[in-house]
Amino acid sequence: MLTLPFYDDPIEWLSRFNTTEFPVLLDAGGHERGRYDIIAACPTESVLLYSDRLEHHSKNGLNIAPPEQFFETIKHMRQPFDRASEVPFISGLIGFIGYDIAHVVEAIERRDDKPAPDLPVACLRRYEWAIIQDREQKCSYFTTTDVNLSGELEKRTANRRDDDPISA
């Protein structure tokens, strides 16, 4: 793990990725309520579940499948990491699964209308790296399972400026 500057407000980190694809912040809500903030961006894969289809976006392009393939698809997106970690996230899936998933994947009958076909019922993205802020220790770390990415970031940050800890 590469040590990075700590910010009291994780929005400081998130704002540095405002021009990247799909930045995400899991905010611990302050030290009193949580210990770790997780910031990630630039997912390598995405799966979006709609009421009528499943969209899997990857380096191979877009694949459309029936909604019933949702759980099988995310099983293949997972890449287990066999090394213990001191932080709660190194790389992996981040997203949401809405309550309506049961009506789409399990074909459970509904009394009301089905979810709107243009709004996803679930969205999961695979992030290869993250910045973890430890609010208890007041430090931040860059985490990844990608050795090449980790080495490249270490080279880029060796000569970093204090006001731009992850200059490109």
Round the average pLDDT of the chain to a whole number and report it: 83
The reported pLDDT for the residue numbered 43 is 95
Of the candidate ranges 100-114, 132-146, 151-165, the one whose mean pLDDT is the lowest: 151-165
The reported pLDDT for the residue numbered 79 is 74
Per-residue pLDDT tens over the stretch 60-81? 999 999 999 999 999 999 876 6
Give the pTM.
0.80
Given a cut of 50, whether residue 167 has pLDDT beyond it is: no
Structure letter (DSSP) for residue 69: G
Q: How far is CA 44 from CA 32, 53, 86, 93, 145, in A?
A: 33, 20, 24, 10, 13
Cα distance between residue 15 and residue 12, in whole Å: 5
Per-residue pLDDT tens over the stretch 3-56? 999 999 999 999 998 889 999 999 988 767 789 999 999 999 999 999 889 999
Q: Token pair for residue 99?
A: 């309550």
Cα distance between residue 47 and residue 73, in whole Å: 8
What is the set of domains in the chain, with CATH numbers?
2-153 (3.60.120.10)
The pairing of strands 122-127 and 129-134 is: unpaired
